[in-house]
Chains A and B, each alone.
Chain A
Amino acid sequence: MIAAAVVPTTTWYLVLAAGLFAIGMIGVLVRRNPLIMFMCIELMLNAVNLTFVALATELADINGQTAVFFVLVVAAAEVVVGLGIIVSIMRRRQQVSADDLAALKG
């Protein structure tokens, strides 16, 4: 069987992560619902995590996996703060798009 001989290399993982990052970027640029924009940011963070893990195995260095751990923690904190902001904005007005975020101007 020919397909069994092909083993996915690190380059495959990196190209897949690049595709995931690009899709997330398009999402942030196109969508205007702040919740969906947040989800697209999470997609981009996941692409970076995938890159870290792929290269940690390739370079035989555990520090890549440690970096992913810290990215996860910071992503959780970011989601908590961002959703808090969105909740307090949505309480003031019902229909919310990213264009309304000019209300945050000082």
Chain B
Amino acid sequence: MELFVFVCAAIMILVGALGVVLRSNPVHAALSMILTLFGVAVLFVAREANFLAAVQVIVYAGAIVVLFLFVIMLLGVDRAEDLRTEPLGNIQRPLALVLGVGMFAVLTTAVVRSRDSLRFKGEGVATATLEDADGNIRQIARSIFGDYVVAFELTSVLLIVAVVGTVVLARRRKSERTPS
């Protein structure tokens, strides 16, 4: 059963990722990305990270992809992109492919070779049971609001700065506004 879930989620992730890279229409790419994000959420559940799976669906699929689609529709760039012209001529695509496969080979080698060195054990990750359904959430909350409370407060500053910066960037100045 675990194997079945893993294989299904892996197929979702890889098909979605290839769709993002290969589809020429930005709307199709964004929808393919949703497939990938859901696959990752499924694997989060399979690895007992229930809270993060919910956050993944809400924040990524619910907010970030909608933001992407909103910008695509707003700018009217939902036409297919011309994929033929390349700045570096004919070598760019083979070069990128070689670099990507090389990166995959290096990472896989590192993962397989270091498999036996994973020995450190922490305090344990709570799994959801019928008696204690929110053990995972409680554990993450204790970590975020305990050890990492300064980082958590700094992320709120980061979000405020990002919102204000975007408003300043996207605002039309009075001098630029066309008389109508």
Contact of B144 among A56, A58, A69 (CB under 8 A): A69
In the bound complex, do residue B3 and residue A8 qualify as a contact, i.e. CB atoms below 8 Å apart?
yes
Using C-beta atoms within 8 Å of the partner chain, give the interface range for chain B: 35 or more
Contact residues, B118-138 vs A (CB, 8 A): 118, 120-126, 136
Which residues on A sit within 8 Å (CB–CB) of B111? 11, 14-15, 18
Which residues on A sit within 8 Å (CB–CB) of B122? 59-63
In the bound complex, do residue B124 and residue A22 qualify as a contact, i.e. CB atoms below 8 Å apart?
no
Provide the main secondary structure of the chain A interface: helix
C-alpha gap A104/B92 in the complex (Å): 23
Q: Closest A-chain residue to B140, C-beta based?
A: A65
In the bound complex, do residue B40 and residue A74 qualify as a contact, i.e. CB atoms below 8 Å apart?
no
In the bound complex, do residue B100 and residue A25 qualify as a contact, i.e. CB atoms below 8 Å apart?
yes
Provide the main secondary structure of the chain B interface: helix
**Interface 0/1 of B53-89, CB less than 8 Å to A:** 0011001100110011001101101000100000100
Contact residues, B10-31 vs A (CB, 8 A): 10, 13-14, 17-18, 20-21, 26, 29-30
C-alpha gap A36/B104 in the complex (Å): 21
In the bound complex, do residue B158 and residue A84 qualify as a contact, i.e. CB atoms below 8 Å apart?
no
Which residues on B sit within 8 Å (CB–CB) of A81? 162, 165-166, 169
Using C-beta atoms within 8 Å of the partner chain, give the interface range for chain A: 35 or more
| Chain A min CB distance to B40 (Å) | 5
Q: Closest B-chain residue to A18, C-beta based?
A: B107
Which residues on B sit within 8 Å (CB–CB) of A85? 169
In the bound complex, do residue B101 and residue A22 qualify as a contact, i.e. CB atoms below 8 Å apart?
yes
In the bound complex, do residue A68 and residue B49 qualify as a contact, i.e. CB atoms below 8 Å apart?
yes
Contact of B64 among A35, A57, A61, A75 (CB under 8 A): A75
Which residues on A sit within 8 Å (CB–CB) of B68? 35, 38-39, 79, 83
Q: List the 8 closest A-B pairs by CB distance, nearest first.
A: A61-B122, A84-B166, A18-B107, A29-B96, A26-B100, A22-B104, A27-B21, A77-B162
Contact residues of A with B, CB < 8 Å? 3-4, 6-8, 10-16, 18-27, 29-33, 35-36, 38-40, 42-43, 46, 49-50, 53-63, 65-66, 68-70, 72-81, 83-88, 90, 96, 99
Can you list 13 A-B pairs, Cβ within 8 angstroms, ordered by A?
A4-B3, A8-B3, A13-B43, A15-B112, A16-B14, A22-B107, A23-B20, A35-B72, A36-B81, A66-B144, A68-B52, A83-B166, A84-B170
A sample of 5 more A-B contacts (CB under 8 A), given A49-B56, A70-B155, A75-B60, is: A35-B68, A53-B44, A61-B125, A83-B68, A83-B166
